[in-house]
Amino acid sequence: MTTIASLTRAQLGEHLAGPGIHLRTGRFTTLLRSPIGGVADGIHLLYGDYPLGEGFADFHLDLVRPATPRRWLRPQVSLLYDGRSMFKPLPLDQAFPMFEWGLNWCVSSRANRYLIVHAAVVEKGGRAAILPAPPGSGKSTLCAALVGRGGWRLLSDELTLLRLDDGLLHPLPRPISLKNASIGVIRAYVPGSVMSRAVTDTVKGTVAHVRPPADSVVRAAETALPAWVVFPRFEAGAAITAEPMPRAETFMQLAQNCFNYSLLGAEGFAALAGLVERSQGYRFRYGVLDEALAFFDSLTGVRDA
Amino acid sequence: MASSWRLVPGQALLHRGWDGAFVLYNDLSGDTHLLSDDAMTLLLALRDGDVAPEELAAPELADLLATLRQLDLVEPC
């Protein structure tokens, strides 16, 4: 299997600027084209373990510099989906984050064979923990720590894909998106982590992306069984608490974190109910990553909570 | 206050229950409701014809029926 790492940075740049590359992330293939150096840098640094595909692509994305007079004053980048601009241009410096956000949008708005939860999901021993949470809750920080130090496999840090037919979780391992203070926290906590250059002044503040473990990328076709739904909340200095949640409440809170629950209708209801019946929910507060990782390890020793 | 009630036509009452709390899929609005044991039991009784009109007219049920009506789950008939 040919991976992105088989291309030098120069070759990758040439491909991206020319015919594009077929980037395979999980079961999705993206035909990505861009002459922008920052995009090639990000792909080269973070996607080396990903397969290069060919032929059919689920998504066609171009990152280009819009030809407007503004480009002479403040260079910008536009994301084109199927050749059409779907979003406001961003400062050129944000080209790589824009690719990441754009690909998230493609999956969350198009992949309706799955119930898609806005949540990180990690696996150990075949059983998965789902971490839904609004921005600022420490979800991605916790996810980066679990896969970087805790021995958990990354399925996704952003999009949990629940298969409608069998209730299994399908991986979509991609770089982990960190924001603001989390960037320094993970640099210190996972010293060997490979991270993209921090980009400042985005709509999310300062952002950087962490390269996913190679093992998680290689195992991208290996599904996992949902076992826990943990709603995390980071509070600096707080003692750890993990309060079991009633299943009906877990259901309602998960539904609020789905991208396509309403779209799927009764099918989405049945899929979510199946997930909740297989999982124990927790309202989880943490202030120290070591303690959080110990809690997650304690879960794996419990067969039926 | 109506003396007799029925399920709104089209409601299939797709639901799941755990520990005395229920989630119900509303076929007409696409919403999902979190319901008490009492509410779910009443809806199922209406569906199955297991509740007499005089019971439905009891003042104790007025608030619950009004709530279920607001959700387009039941209607007077």
B34-45 residue pLDDT tens: 999 999 999 999
Contact B32 A252 (CB under 8 A): yes
Nearest to A212 by CA among A246, A174, A178, A264: A174
Nearby residues of A273 by Cβ (< 8 Å), 6 or more positions away: A251, B16, B23
State ipTM: 0.91
**Residue linked to tokens 């009443």:** B42
Share of chain B above pLDDT 70, in %: 96
pLDDT mean over A82-96:
94
pLDDT band at A134 (very low <50, low <70, confident <90, very high): confident
Number of other CB atoms surrounding residue A134 within 10 Å: 11
Q: Does A221 touch chain B (CB under 8 A)?
A: no
- B77 vs A29, higher pLDDT: A29
At A237 the pLDDT is 87
pLDDT mean over A57-70:
89
Contacts of A273 in chain B (CB under 8 A): 16, 23
For chain B, how far is it from start to end, CA to CA, in angstroms?
A: 11
Quick check: B62 pLDDT over 80? yes
Number of other CB atoms surrounding residue A127 within 10 Å: 17
Quick check: A70 pLDDT over 90? no
Quick check: A85 pLDDT over 80? yes
Quick check: A69 pLDDT over 80? no
Closest in B19, B27, B32 to A246, CB measured: B19
Q: Which two tokens stand for residue A66?
A: 């819009």
* Mutate: best of A245, A247, A264, A280, partner B, most B CBs <10 A: A247
Contact B14 A277 (CB under 8 A): no
At B3 the pLDDT is 66
* Mutate: best of A264, A269, A275, partner B, most B CBs <10 A: A269
At A305 the pLDDT is 41
Under 8 Å between Cβ of A64 and A16: no
At A73 the pLDDT is 73
